[in-house]
Amino acid sequence: MLKDEIKKNTRKFFRNPTAVLGFVLLIFFILIAVFAPLIAPPENPDNPYRIPIATWSLKPQPPSPEHPFGVIGQRDIFYGVVWGTRTAFRIGLIVAGISTIIGIVIGSIAGYFGGWIDEILMRITDIFMALPFLVAAMVLTTILGKGLDKVMIAMIVFGWMATARLIRGNILQVKEEQYVLAAKALGVRDSLIILKHVIPNTIFPVIVQVSMRMGSLVITAAALSFLGLGAEPGYADWGTLLSYSRNWLTEFDKAWFSIVYPGVAMILFVLAWNLVGDALRDIFDPRLRG
């Protein structure tokens, strides 16, 4: 049964052209991330995320055979874009992964115990949601002392609420279902029932949520780097590369490549996750089927 369902959904997924495009893009980025050492061999294998200095001139250099994406802030953009893919995956997967786990734990506790525990946890969730995500991440990053690791911590601290609400809602819904009440009447333990029925009901919405959030997490991290709060200068990160362009705001004709290449990489990366997430949602959210 489950196998058939998976087979059917896989077929459905690959019949959707935008889903296929997203999937292909995602594979493409995974390949770049995996083969980064071959595509852009690092000068110093111990610290490959440091973009090597390409020139001592501070002026941007347009694309050339030697530096296919050009040079900005003395750094080779091609190298930064390639290794920046790894950075993007790292940020997205770590932040989405950890904050989702936190959200699952908090949401499960709230939904399972209900009553005043639920009330307290949900009010705490409300309080964390009362700060706009970008502002909250920015303030916490600054207070923790800047840097990519601080950005990730800040995004985890303010990134678990949506999952918690989703899980809690699902548990409350399952608790009301007839078959759960029936199982309860038969004396099956609560926790067992809920575990058994919540997991299949929740796992796909969570997967959809994670893939939809990957993009926005990478955008926020890049925005903080762009403002100068995230990765330090010279680090292989798309936001950092873009931040160099801020010095050339009125002379973009001399630095267009510093926007276009990392910018397009980011757009395609986010697009890939959003397309995959969108397709998954179409499949798993029966309300939108049709």
Cα 267 from chain centre: 13
Residue 94 touching another protein (CB under 8 A): no
Of the candidate spans 53-61, 123-131, 180-188, 201-209, the one that interacts with another protein by CB under 8 A turns out to be 123-131
**Can you give the length of the chain in residues?**
290
Contact 236, 84 (CB under 8 A): yes
Size of the site for another protein (CB under 8 A): 50
Q: Which two tokens stand for residue 188?
A: 């099956």
Residue type, 260: V
Q: How far is CA 82 from CA 53, 85, 218, 266, 271, in A?
A: 16, 6, 15, 11, 17
SS3 47: coil
Residue 142 touching another protein (CB under 8 A): yes
Least distance in angstroms from the C-beta of 212 to another protein: 9
Residue 134 touching another protein (CB under 8 A): yes
- Per-residue contact flags (x/-) with another protein for residues 248 to 267, judged by CB under 8 A: -xxxxx--x--xx--x--xx
**Beta carbon nearer to another protein, 8 or 196:** 8
Q: Which residues contact 141 (CB under 8 A, 6 or more apart)?
A: 147, 150, 151, 153, 154, 224, 229, 230
Least distance in angstroms from the C-beta of 10 to another protein: 15
Q: Which two tokens stand for residue 238?
A: 């798309």
Least distance in angstroms from the C-beta of 260 to another protein: 8
CA distance 98 to 39: 30
Binder of another protein out of 39, 105, 124, 207 (CB under 8 A) = 124
For the segment 194-253, give every residue that binds another protein (CB under 8 A). 215, 219, 222-223, 226-229, 242, 245-246, 249-253
Give bridge partners of residue 12 from the DSSP assignment.
none
**Beta carbon nearer to another protein, 48 or 262:** 262
For the segment 5-34, give every residue that binds another protein (CB under 8 A). 18
Least distance in angstroms from the C-beta of 261 to another protein: 11
Contact 94, 153 (CB under 8 A): no
Q: Which two tokens stand for residue 154?
A: 């800040």
Q: How far apart are the first and last CA of the chain?
A: 22
Residue 136 touching another protein (CB under 8 A): yes
Residue 143 touching another protein (CB under 8 A): yes
Binding site for another protein (CB under 8 A): 18, 123-124, 126-128, 130-136, 138-144, 215, 219, 222-223, 226-229, 242, 245-246, 249-253, 256, 259-260, 263, 266-267, 270-271, 274-275, 278, 287-288, 290
